[in-house]
Structure 1
Amino acid sequence: MTELPKFKYQPNALELGIIEKKNIYCPVCEKNRDYSYSGGIYAVEKVEYICPWCVADGSASKKYNGIYIDDASCEDVSDQSKLTELVTKTPKYVSWQQENWLAHHDDYCSFEKYVGWKEIEHLKENLSEDIERIKSEYGLSQSEFEQFLVNDGGMQGYLFKCLHCDQHRLHIDTN
């Protein structure tokens, strides 16, 4: 069996269902594959399934002149090649409105998992800046934030981790 590609900014894609075990015919490499990425690509042509290998090597992005993550929803980093890798070689996570990719130490963070308060309570201090920003943006008290942030609930959390230190980052989305 061929080993699945590794995604620098999306290390848990299989565990999170972003890459799934599903037999497909990949229109990019023109091979039958046992795994599929079906999270979508921003392109003119509608594409249902792409194999993870064609996502990872950038060939699907090139073929369809598309991106997986909207570069306007990514925090800024100084190295343009990091943005290129993120938007053309990284499968996006599923969000209700618009995925938002966070950065730290002038690099994009890896997307770790979908979370609610109970999954991140132990990271409260580590996430304090993001928690305060989110509470301010949504006009929430700490107790409201804790109550409303529920995995698969009305306020969904997206947990990221810096590739260079132990700092976690948090983005939320509401339905």
Structure 2
Amino acid sequence: MAMELPHFRYYKDPVAAGVIKPSDAVCLCCERARGHIYVGPVYSVEDLSERLCPWCIADGRAAERFQASFIGYHALDEAGVAPSAIEEIDRRTPGYFTWQEATWVAHCGDACVFHGDASEQDVRDASVATRQQWMQDYELAEKDWQWATKGYKPAGDSAFYKFVCVHCQQVVLAWDLS
């Protein structure tokens, strides 16, 4: 019988995002095969690639045992997000795949929920507020938005990541280039 995956407050669906996969692999932390393994980015002095289960990430054991981190938290710190939320994301939340180091975004003074790669429709139909937030975050103009989104396809060279504010539900787009 498969165990129910742990809930990650700031991550909508890590299985759909491709960072947690079904697997018979044994977790290096708890030494159990639980039916799923984390395949996303992890920062540690030890090679933990595809060696941690989602449960050891969720309860913080993996981060504590291996001094591991799953996301760059500096943007959250600069945005004034509470240290408890930063620690939850950095040490108890899966990361996501990106070209450069992944960054978690904030809105309304809190970390946003990661929803995965933005769809073509997410980008095409981005609200004025979403576009303005993107331009502010990247210190760019409307013409840059037009350039960055032209021909956008998920997982492409111009990558957009969808986050949703936990308070006002505004979509905030993180951006990265190959």
Normalising by structure 2, what TM-score?
A: 0.88
- 1:38 and 2:1 matched: no
User: For 1:157 and 1:92, how far apart are their aligned partners in 2?
Assistant: 15
| Aligned counterpart, 1:19 | 20
Shift of 1:105: 1.6
In structure 2, the CA distance between the partners of 1:123 and 1:32, relative to structure 1 (3 Å rule), is same
In the alignment, is residue 124 of structure 1 matched against residue 127 of structure 2? yes
Q: Which amino acid aligns with 2:71?
A: I
Which string of whole-angstrom CA distances, capped at 9 and with x for unpartnered residues, describes residues 118-157 of structure 1? 4322233241223433675489444323315331222010
The answer to whether the Cα contact below 8 Å between 1:77 and 1:108 also exists between their aligned partners in 2 is: no
Superposed CA deviations along residues 18-46 of structure 1, whole A, max 9, x for unmatched, are: 11111110111111121010213211111
1:84 alignment partner in structure 2: 87
CA separation of 1:16 and 1:54: change in aligned 2, threshold 3 A: same
TM norm structure 1: 0.89
Name the amino acid aligned to 2:9. K
**Hey, what does 1:102 align to over in structure 2?**
105
Count of residue correspondences: 175
Q: Is the 8 A contact 2:81 2:111 kept in 1?
A: no
Partner of 1:171: 174
- Distance change (3 Å), C-alpha of 1:24 and 1:159: same
Deviations 1:98-124 (A, max 9, x none): 111101121100111202544322233
Local SS of the residue matching 1:33? coil
Measured in 1, the distance between the counterparts of 2:128 and 2:138 equals 15
Hey, what's the Cα distance between the residues in 2 that align with 1:135 and 1:71? 17
1:146 equivalent in alignment to 2:149: yes
Q: What displacement does 1:13 show?
A: 0.4
> Among the aligned pairs, what percent are the same residue?
27
5+ residue gaps, structure 2: none
Between the aligned partners of 2:149 and 2:33, the Cα distance in structure 1 is 45
Which of the two has greater strand per residue? 1
1:7–1:90 Cα contact (<8 Å) kept: yes
Provide runs of 4+ in structure 1 moved above 3 Å: 116-119, 133-143
Gaps (5+ residues) in structure 1? none
Cα distance change of structure 1 residues 103 and 142 upon mapping to structure 2, 3 Å threshold = closer
Aligned to 2:56: 54
Higher mean C-alpha displacement, 121-130 vs 103-112: 121-130
- The equivalent residue for 2:7 is 6
CA distance in 1, matches of 2:8, 2:165: 14
